[in-house]
Amino acid sequence: QQQVKQSPQSLIVQKGGISIINCAYENTAFDYFPWYQQFPGKGPALLIAIRPDVSEKKEGRFTISFNKSAKQFSLHIMDSQPGDSATYFCAARGARAGSYQLTFGKGTKLSVIP
Amino acid sequence: IAGITQAPTSQILAAGRRMTLRCTQDMRHNAMYWYRQDLGLGLRLIHYSNTAGTTGKGEVPDGYSVSRANTDDFPLTLASAVPSQTSVYFCASSAMTTGELFFGEGSRLTVL
């Protein structure tokens, strides 16, 4: 069963526009929500992460918005650039001892066109 | 700075053959993981190890085995490869209490 649902599957955004990717989770025991960025032929790399005790985290052009009651979180990329074109994965980590593995969404392929 | 090293980078394998994907990390992380990545299915956890000497099953463990004899190495073995195991395999590691996974560059495996 999929515990982290990600949408959309693909996204095309004009340069300078805002890219928004959404995720929803089912397990209320998750305690850490990272986003990973993956370029073709490379492994994913951590982009930004948030814990459920805050509603927003911003790092440069990247912002995570977190809604604990709705069990949803989203990634916003402001002033999107062609260099942001990549696949983005949201993820969630279990809070139980011994359960530190990440569960990933299915990914969103972002294309930023000039 | 090496981080996570995976080998081979790519491999074509006949069905029924045995294959071991190698993974080595130099960050002294406690935890290591194997994920497979398939188009439209994202990253799915195969096996993990929270510390040397222990392993656990992930979401899709069938047909795969792992061992963790020491902190640095975490090989993934396909005892008898099948075409459905055609995928890109990523090894990752993390300090056990953090959520940041460091990934290797991946091993592309094709089973014919």
Which CATH number characterizes residue B11's domain? 2.60.40.10
pLDDT confidence of residue A2: 57
Note which residues in 1-60 of chain B have CB less than 8 A from chain A: 4, 31, 33, 35, 40-45, 48, 50, 58-59
* Domain extent at residue B105: 4-111
Question: Do residues B4 and B104 lie in contact, with contact meaning Cβ atoms separated by under 8 Å?
Answer: yes
Indicate which CATH number applies to the domain containing A103: 2.60.40.10
pLDDT confidence of residue B95: 85
| pLDDT tens column, A18-57 | 999 999 998 778 889 999 999 999 999 999 999 989 999 9
* Domain extent at residue A69: 4-113
Distance in Å, alpha carbon of B16 to nearest chain A alpha carbon: 27
Interface contact B107, partner A, CB < 8 A: no
Question: Do residues B69 and B62 lie in contact, with contact meaning Cβ atoms separated by under 8 Å?
Answer: no
pLDDT confidence of residue B111: 97
Q: Does A46 sit within 8 Å of B43, measured CB to CB?
A: no
Mutant choice from A42, A101, A103, A104 vs B, greatest count of B C-beta within 10 A: A101
Higher pLDDT, A95 or B18: B18
- For B103, name the nearest residue in chain A, comparing CA atoms only: A43
Give residue A12's pLDDT band: very low, low, confident or very high (50, 70, 90): very high
Q: Does A98 sit within 8 Å of B99, measured CB to CB?
A: no
| pLDDT tens column, B65-100 | 999 999 999 999 999 999 999 999 999 999 866 778
Q: Number of folded domains in chain A? A: 1
Beginning with the edge strand found earlier in the chain, give each strand of the sheet holding A19-25 in spatial order: A4-7, A19-25, A72-77, A62-67, A56-59
∠ CA B40-A107-A35 to the nearest 5 degrees?
Answer: 160
Question: Do residues B18 and B78 lie in contact, with contact meaning Cβ atoms separated by under 8 Å?
Answer: yes
